[in-house]
Chain A
């Protein structure tokens, strides 16, 4: 029986992934992928395919409901099912649930088929940890192991022959006492820092920033699942760059021109002073609409990348968000110079739908 449903399930998943039956793709409902509300609260994608039928246009029909309210009051959520469709299962919803970051990353990894990240280099930070896994005959009372002490006393009494089955009284004496003791465990820890840079010049509109916001959230989630000590830094730039906190990073609306090298310079300095590449896995991400001030600055960017960033980072990711105003030139420039370089990944994000693909571009190499 199980085999059967697994076959049907695999078939469905393959359709969703677009591997087979492309003709069904258009009936797939694109559940909103993300909606982070508060901590760790997201919506789970639940792709559904609806075979077309002759059916009513719901927006032109009426339904019957029940509850408080007067004529003209909105009924809150969309009705998932009109009362008439009594025969059906309940409708499709994107359901919001609470998940931990780990679960989320797992789902994401599964959906996007992301490889696990291989931290670079051999040198890692060794940390000592204490694990209470041993037993000893000496120690402080606060660590007394009651069960083992009892056992010892029992053993002693049995071997001495003063254990009475009918009146099983066990009296531990001092030598019976056992204590928990710790062992030193050396744990290798890997540290990582992700540096998000965003262009907040006049040409980046709310829409573009939304795309960046969503994408950084997922990248952050993915990296967090792989690195215990993940630090996140945020840099915004127009003609000058500055470091900001997370809140500001997403809210800030600057205007004016764009000098990308300012951000790269700040990022390079940050790495140089704070994150020794031998100890840290470094992930700079830069999002922009690709409109830079001048060709000379483009050249400057390439220089910084070449000399001060790429040698030290795991991978440098550049995401270009499509915008009405941006020329998108920067992407072409950067690709021209670093075409064959594996340390740099670029991705073009046309709209919200392209986020998934772009995340895959960035993280799909397992670096």
Chain B
């Protein structure tokens, strides 16, 4: 391995220029530290999700195997990597041409601006490098004490559940601390008569403790009591949190589960804003390069690389492409005033095409968009019918009889609905803990909010087994199988499923 090195003087002078261009365009980012790495090291860091120190686990080795194989057969290479921390770390591949490095640097500044300013990243830990390293130390300590196999086994179990978190919880406090009576909480003790009344002179009582108020309080209290019988009081999205709090785990096990949960939350916003983030970075590498940084002699290489990044194939949407095109579309619409009631209600197509109010608000608008949206709201707000047709978007599904995937629909409303559905919860099923004392036997009951697509049954069964390892009592999940409501159950030995009427 070669030691990571800073930029060569040539790259450094390019970096300064590009940083200045980025600044002049209004991008706002943490300091960016570039390091130049050879392909082995960059593959290695990429396998660890961009962090130089992670806990030991075979899946990183698997990723490395895949990356280095596809690199050595010339199928795929990593041009850049950028980590959401403060300062931002970005890695460049040593053997890239200068034009590629310039493009990548411009791209990186786009990402860094996004990391710093997008609301969904506002709660991420910007010192994650250190935290990951701490996680690594902890896990290594456990391995020394409890053995590699048992720790790795448990990690696999936890990783099997890593997607069962509540992606919005950094922003909303859903899990309430166990509430005490608010009266007790706020008033000095000697003033409180019972749960609902404040001490008062008899003739003042009906003013200080109005009947309706007392009654309301009493009802609330009863409701709370009723809810406390349930466990958890309300269905809970953050399944991992529930398990950490309530499952019979050894301390080290709980600690590993927390590590997995923490890292899951850290990576969540990157998944929530993939289209926006890549689109934004691509928009800026393209803008900075074509308007400022690219040299005439480099234009072909730039175009080649740029079009490679934005290439599409029928079976998947390229987030780079979709993102950059949407930003450009928004910029164009806000430059020309193609939005609002007047525009929407105009049904003369020719007029709509020519529509130009010379607003010039485009740039401002996309900066605003990158601040507040995530992929779902981005698509919901800005994917228009024209855009959808222009980019030939469609829905595909698996045709069981022909054994192929085929186009099933091209209608705008359907495409949009489907795209939003796929983005919701990262295209993963939404699952709650419904009952931690199911049928009063201490069993765990999860609830899959079924929205039209079944769970993959074999995977669901294996995941239930992993849940069992943590909960140590039978595990159940309420879902639908072929439109029939069912409970899948694993009791420690066998799987069963039961229809619900």
Interface of A with B (CB < 8 Å)? 1-2, 4-5, 7-13, 15, 20-21, 23-24, 27, 44, 46, 48-49, 51-89, 92, 95, 97, 99
15 contacts between A and B (CB under 8 A): A5-B60, A9-B64, A12-B58, A53-B463, A54-B459, A69-B314, A71-B394, A71-B408, A73-B407, A75-B406, A80-B315, A83-B427, A84-B422, A86-B275, A99-B73
Which segment of B12-20, B27-35, B157-165, B354-362 sits at the interface? Answer: B157-165
- Asked, given contacts A64-B415, A67-B313, A70-B407, whether A55 binds B456 with beta carbons under 8 Å apart, the answer is yes
How many angstroms from the CA of A111 to the CA of B158 in the assembled complex?
31
Q: Does B190 contact A (CB under 8 A)?
A: no
Which segment of B115-123, B198-206, B395-403 sits at the interface? Answer: B395-403
* Contact (Cβ within 8 A) A74 B405: yes
B498 CB to closest chain A CB (Å) equals 18
Which segment of B212-220, B264-272, B288-296 sits at the interface? Answer: B264-272
How many angstroms from the CA of A44 to the CA of B162 in the assembled complex?
30
A101 CB to closest chain B CB (Å) equals 15
* Contact (Cβ within 8 A) A77 B315: yes
Query: Quick one: which of B137-162 are within 8 Å of A by CB?
Result: 149, 152-153, 156, 159-162
Chain A residue at smallest Cβ distance from B57: A8
Query: Given the complex, which residues of B lie within 8 Å of A85, measured CB to CB?
Result: 422, 426-427
Contact code string B427-457 (vs A, CB < 8 Å = 1, else 0): 1110100000000000000001000011111
Name the one of B149, B319, B460 contacting A20, with C-beta atoms under 8 angstroms: B149
Q: Does B393 contact A (CB under 8 A)?
A: yes
Chain A residue at smallest Cβ distance from B319: A86
* Contact (Cβ within 8 A) B44 A2: yes
Query: Quick one: which of B42-94 are within 8 Å of A by CB?
Result: 44, 47-48, 52, 56-66, 69-70, 73-75
B479 CB to closest chain A CB (Å) equals 9
Query: Given the complex, which residues of B lie within 8 Å of A8, measured CB to CB?
Result: 47, 56-61, 64
* Contact (Cβ within 8 A) B396 A65: yes
How many angstroms from the CA of A184 to the CA of B168 in the assembled complex?
78
B455 CB to closest chain A CB (Å) equals 6
Name the one of B396, B404, B458 contacting A63, with C-beta atoms under 8 angstroms: B396
Q: Does B410 contact A (CB under 8 A)?
A: yes
Q: Does B375 contact A (CB under 8 A)?
A: yes
Query: Given the complex, which residues of A lie within 8 Å of B66, measured CB to CB?
Result: 46, 48, 92
Most buried by A among B58, B271, B402, B453: B58
Query: Given the complex, which residues of A lie within 8 Å of B404, measured CB to CB?
Result: 74-75
* Contact (Cβ within 8 A) A66 B455: no
* Contact (Cβ within 8 A) A87 B274: yes
Q: Does B97 contact A (CB under 8 A)?
A: no
Query: Given the complex, which residues of A lie within 8 Å of B246, measured CB to CB?
Result: none
Q: A9-B64, A86-B423 are in contact. List 17 more A-B contacts (CB 8 A).
A: A2-B40, A9-B61, A44-B69, A52-B466, A54-B477, A55-B455, A64-B393, A65-B314, A65-B393, A67-B313, A71-B408, A75-B405, A79-B315, A83-B423, A86-B275, A86-B319, A87-B272
Name the one of B75, B405, B458 contacting A97, with C-beta atoms under 8 angstroms: B75
Query: Given the complex, which residues of B lie within 8 Å of A61, measured CB to CB?
Result: 397, 453
Most buried by B among A9, A49, A65, A85: A65
How many angstroms from the CA of A55 to the CA of B48 in the assembled complex?
23
Chain A residue at smallest Cβ distance from B323: A86
* Contact (Cβ within 8 A) A58 B456: yes
Chain B residue at smallest Cβ distance from A70: B407
Most buried by B among A11, A76, A92: A11
Q: Does B41 contact A (CB under 8 A)?
A: yes
Interface of B with A (CB < 8 Å)? 1, 40-41, 44, 47-48, 52, 56-66, 69-70, 73-75, 149, 152-153, 156, 159-164, 267-268, 270-272, 274-275, 312-317, 319, 375, 391-400, 402, 404-410, 415, 418-419, 421-424, 426-429, 431, 448, 453-460, 462-463, 466, 477
Chain A residue at smallest Cβ distance from B399: A74
* Contact (Cβ within 8 A) A1 B406: no
* Contact (Cβ within 8 A) A74 B406: yes
Most buried by B among A68, A83, A89: A83
How many angstroms from the CA of A56 to the CA of B47 in the assembled complex?
25
How many angstroms from the CA of A55 to the CA of B160 in the assembled complex?
11
- Asked, given contacts A44-B69, A54-B459, A77-B315, whether A4 binds B56 with beta carbons under 8 Å apart, the answer is yes
How many angstroms from the CA of A72 to the CA of B407 in the assembled complex?
5
Chain B residue at smallest Cβ distance from A77: B315
Query: Given the complex, which residues of A lie within 8 Å of B317, measured CB to CB?
Result: 64-66, 83
Chain A residue at smallest Cβ distance from B54: A4
- Asked, given contacts A5-B64, A11-B58, whether A68 binds B453 with beta carbons under 8 Å apart, the answer is no
B497 CB to closest chain A CB (Å) equals 15
* Contact (Cβ within 8 A) B61 A13: yes
Query: Given the complex, which residues of B lie within 8 Å of A76, measured CB to CB?
Result: 314-315
How many angstroms from the CA of A313 to the CA of B316 in the assembled complex?
54
Query: Given the complex, which residues of B lie within 8 Å of A78, measured CB to CB?
Result: 315, 405
A256 CB to closest chain B CB (Å) equals 35
Query: Given the complex, which residues of B lie within 8 Å of A2, measured CB to CB?
Result: 1, 40, 44
Chain A residue at smallest Cβ distance from B164: A54
- Asked, given contacts A9-B64, A51-B156, whether A62 binds B396 with beta carbons under 8 Å apart, the answer is yes
Query: Given the complex, which residues of A lie within 8 Å of B460, measured CB to CB?
Result: 54
* Contact (Cβ within 8 A) A57 B58: no
How many angstroms from the CA of A88 to the CA of B426 in the assembled complex?
9
* Contact (Cβ within 8 A) B314 A75: yes
How many angstroms from the CA of A170 to the CA of B463 in the assembled complex?
82
A330 CB to closest chain B CB (Å) equals 38
- Asked, given contacts A12-B61, A65-B316, A84-B422, whether A1 binds B453 with beta carbons under 8 Å apart, the answer is no
* Contact (Cβ within 8 A) B407 A69: yes
How many angstroms from the CA of A223 to the CA of B193 in the assembled complex?
95
How many angstroms from the CA of A71 to the CA of B407 in the assembled complex?
5
* Contact (Cβ within 8 A) B429 A56: yes
- Asked, given contacts A62-B396, A75-B407, whether A1 binds B312 with beta carbons under 8 Å apart, the answer is no
Query: Given the complex, which residues of A lie within 8 Å of B74, measured CB to CB?
Result: 97
